[in-house]
A and B are shown apart, each in its own frame.
Chain A
Amino acid sequence: DGGITQSPKYLFRKEGQNVTLSCEQNLNHDAMYWYRQDPGQGLRLIYYSQIVNDFQKGDIAEGYSVSREKKESFPLTVTSAQKNPTAFYLCASSPVAGGTDTQYFGPGTRLTVL
């Protein structure tokens, strides 16, 4: 059963702590993405990766870090430098990097920083 998994679905952290969100895909997709959704706003791109061991900043990368050591995994770390970390985080993948490839999304992780 192919797809994208994100865990956990809900995550709570204290202010000042780093937290890592998991994203795994078994679709054999080359490209992976992280978005954040806030109320009343569209999906905003945090980081994306077109290939293993390579990634680029999106529009709102400050306070976040990623790694792409394996094709199927693209974890996102929300650091203490991120000023407003509470949000709904969505991971996506596409067969190859390119706007004409549909992106497939995971179920999302809601992060709440207390």
Chain B
Amino acid sequence: DQQVKQNSPSLSVQEGRISILNCDYTNSMFDYFLWYKKYPAEGPTFLISISSIKDKNEDGRFTVFLNKSAKHLSLHIVPSQPGDSAVYFCAASHNTDKLIFGTGTRLQVFP
């Protein structure tokens, strides 16, 4: 049972526009959410996180929104840049030592 779902395997966005990556989860006990970015043949790097007591967290061009009632979070990247082209994973946890990862969304930013 996939507790964290990224239903869009890929997304293509023009440079300068907004990229919106979505993530849904089923476990209402999750209280911490993270986004990671991964380039091919490299390990994921941490991007941004959000606690369930918040509904928005912003860091530069990256903003994560959390809608607890819908069990949905999204990552907004604006403006999108070619260097943002990568696979993005969302992850969730419930105050445990295990992160549950989604399947990833491949973002391609074209000129």
Interface residues in chain A, defined as those with a beta carbon under 8 Å from any beta carbon in chain B: 4, 6, 9, 31, 35, 40-45, 48, 50, 58, 88, 90-92, 94, 97-100, 102-108, 110
Contacts and interface: CB of A to CB of B under 8 A. Distances in A.
B67 to A, nearest CB: 20
Nearest to A40: B103
Contacts of A48: 97-98
Size band of the B side of the interface?
20 to 34
Contacts, number: 68
B34 A102 contact: yes
B93 interface: yes
Contacts of A94: 97
Nearest to B49: A102
B102 A99 contact: no
B43 A108 contact: yes
B42 A107 contact: yes
B71 to A, nearest CB: 17
A105 B51 CA distance: 21
- Give chain B's interface secondary structure class: loop
Given A42-B103, A43-B89, A102-B34, A108 B95 contact: no
B27 to A, nearest CB: 12
A104 B9 contact: no
A99 B94 contact: yes
Given A45-B98, A99-B94, A99-B95, A108 B41 contact: yes
The 10 closest A-B pairs by CB, nearest first: A99-B93, A105-B43, A97-B97, A42-B101, A43-B101, A42-B103, A102-B46, A105-B44, A100-B32, A108-B43
